[in-house]
Amino acid sequence: MSTFLIAIGSFVGFIVAYNTYGRWIARKVFALDPNSAVPSKELEDGVDYVPSKRSIVFGHHFTSIAGTGPIVGPAIAVFWGWLPALLWVVLGSIFIGAVHDFGALVVSLRNRGQTVGEIAGRLISPRTKLLFLLALFFALTVVLAIFGLVIAVIFKQYPGSVLAVWISLPIAIVFGIMMRRGSTQLLPMSIISLILIYFAVYIGSYHLPITLPVSNPIVGWTVILLIYCGIASVLPVWLLLQPRDYVNSHQLFVALTLLVGGLMVASFTGSADLLNSTPAMTSSLPEGTPPIWPFLFITIACGAISGFHCLVSSGTSSKQLSCETDAQSVAYGSMLLEAALAVVVILACCAGVGMGKFEPAKIVQGNGVSRTEYQPVLGENEQPLTGKAAWRATYELNGGKKWSDFSLGSKVGAFVDGGANFLSAIGIPLQLGVGIIAVLVACFAATTLDSATRLQRYVIQELAGTLKIVPLKNMYAATVLAVVLGGAIAMIPSRPFADGGAMGTGGLLLWPLFGATNQLLAGLAFMVTAFYLWRRNKPVWFVVIPMIFMIILPGWALVWQLFNPNTGWWVSDDKLLVAIIGTVTLGLQIWMVVEALIMWPKAKGVLEEALPPLSKPSADLKSSGGRSC
């Protein structure tokens, strides 16, 4: 019962926050105006600037920011206990994450859809623009690598998910073409698309699992995925990005409904008992586990706050909104829905795994250590582990004792297996449930992957313009560079100079780097929003407080990771690349903070330089007197 009440209490809190705190920010601070001109109509080009319905933009925005961040992060963070993870997700998303996303979207809307990096150059100083773009470049390179690896891991561990993920792409393209031709039956088309995808889940799970006939399928799938995202990122947004994200948003609604239904049944029947199956605060941790403070706040990123979201807000969503007042729903609302997903992930990784649907599979010998591996129970007569034994088996990597022993696959697998346990409580066969959850995770990660590639292309083109590198102003050249660099980082082995350090196994080596750089980016995006409000004599306290929080804590975590005398990146021969990226990112952040501190006293009440007038006003705006919606 307690498990269900925790979920419902969190959801109610999100709804109340949206209609109180979110509404105050929208109406009293930003004063959203339905008559304001929007970039999608001022600069409509049919590729990136495409005015779209709120439901379409919401689907794109939500699925782009969700990805696997709110899945992998909480799955790692529950090592410290479910209570701190839950509190950070709920309070962080309401007062920090949703405010961050909302602010970035509104500021971009009022600056012709420019990214936060470009806007920083006018709001703070021209030098800040270059520094911010470089920080974005490094952060997005890591995002491309980590999300490419996540999908590759899912495809390797759950081959039954492969068919449905790939078949969703032509389905989305057909949807997009019909939508472009004027079809208004969006919801019925989405329902038909979902039926086809779930049919593919069934076929893939029971009859057609797909594997790559190569020695290292992680590398093979990563290469294929990066080629796909390179192509997808240069297609018009209406052809693949919007329809796929719209369908994926409904896929999540269905999955969340099923998960919450299963959670409710399992909670009322007593088979899922959060309080008795997992610790609220963990006292015994694997060797080498970093301290909860500040690492909880960079481990759970997307479920509470994520700097990547400011790139989606200012990079793609602001170019598609057809009405300024849609911003609260798209940005603030999407962040709270993502937090709801993170809450379910926490419960699935704790109470769900604790339901005991695991059995001893085999004994593995390696490096002089004998350990038992566990797998989901798919039959009816096995003797499963129960309660804390099942949870501990999963969260000790089937017997591993060191933090460094954990793999990216074990983190993703915890949610897939725990979520499938919830679905089994409402009668869905466990094998099919595993397929449903694995496809959900892979589809969301794929959405983030090609959105991140599109954003990285924008950043590279902006950098090329600033640094006068003419060839990289070309969208195709910029995309190739983005994909190649992301792939190179993804290929990092977990132990580059040790025996058995296979390419593509460094996922958890990259995750702390992703978390720290990602959260530092959030602090810098807050800085841009704060300057926007400060120059207009608007309230800034609700932005400045989380800004300080998100600059200090990720910086602290990055310093710890770089210079810890026992495990720091600079003292490890096999972590030189991440040490360099981390050091450069930290240096850029410090430099930008100094630039901001110098400019802050001079900026109050002084508007930034206006954008140059448009050479050709939008026909829609001329005919409507400036009204956008």
| pLDDT higher than threshold 80 for residue 274 | no
| Candidate ranges 133-137, 151-155, 271-275, 540-544; pick with highest mean pLDDT | 540-544
Return the sign of the alpha-carbon dihedral for residues 197, 200, 206, 210: negative
pLDDT tens figures, 465-514: 888 899 999 999 999 999 999 888 888 765 554 444 566 565 556 767 77
| Contact present, 374 and 397 (Cβ < 8 Å) | no
With bands split at pLDDT 50, 70 and 90, how would you rate the model's confidence at 629? low
Query: What's the pLDDT at 375?
Result: 46
Query: What's the pLDDT at 5?
Result: 87
Which two tokens mark 443? 């589809």
Q: What are the contacts of 490-497 at 24+ separation with CB within 8 A? A: 490/144, 490/145, 490/146, 490/148, 490/149, 490/222, 490/226, 491/219, 491/222, 492/145, 492/577, 492/578, 493/574, 495/574, 496/574, 497/573, 497/574
Q: What is the C-alpha to C-alpha distance for residues 157 and 215, in angstroms, rounded to an integer?
A: 15
Average pLDDT over residues 322-346: 93
Residue in the block written with tokens 């932005």: 543
With bands split at pLDDT 50, 70 and 90, how would you rate the model's confidence at 308? confident
pLDDT tens figures, 33-66: 999 999 999 998 887 898 989 988 998 898 888 7
Pairing of strands 369-376, 358-366: antiparallel
Say whether 120 sits in a helix, a strand or coil: helix
Which two tokens mark 213? 């006939």
| Stretch among 180-194, 397-411, 484-498, 574-588 having the lowest mean pLDDT | 397-411
Residue 474 gets which letter from DSSP? Answer: S
Query: What's the pLDDT at 502?
Result: 62
Query: What's the pLDDT at 11?
Result: 94
Say whether 426 sits in a helix, a strand or coil: coil
For 41, other C-beta atoms within 10 Å of its C-beta total: 22
Q: Which residue has the higher pLDDT, 432 or 405?
A: 432
Query: What's the pLDDT at 284?
Result: 67
Q: What are the contacts of 18-26 at 24+ separation with CB within 8 A? A: 18/328, 18/332, 18/333, 18/336, 21/94, 21/95, 22/98, 22/102, 22/328, 22/332, 22/333, 22/336, 23/328, 25/99, 25/102, 25/328, 25/332, 25/542, 26/102, 26/325, 26/327, 26/328, 26/332
Strand ranges (E), 536-598: none
With bands split at pLDDT 50, 70 and 90, how would you rate the model's confidence at 280? confident
What are the structural domains of the chain? 2-354+428-494+506-561+577-624 (1.20.1740)
With bands split at pLDDT 50, 70 and 90, how would you rate the model's confidence at 355? low
Q: Which residue has the higher pLDDT, 289 or 249?
A: 249
Residue 81 gets which letter from DSSP? Answer: -
Q: What is the C-alpha to C-alpha distance for residues 65 and 61, in angstroms, rounded to an integer?
A: 6
Q: Which residues pair with 366 in a beta bridge?
A: 369
With bands split at pLDDT 50, 70 and 90, how would you rate the model's confidence at 276? low
User: Of 200, 221, 199, nearest to 212 (Cα)?
Assistant: 221
pLDDT tens figures, 201-231: 999 999 999 998 888 888 899 899 999 999 9
Query: What's the pLDDT at 283?
Result: 67
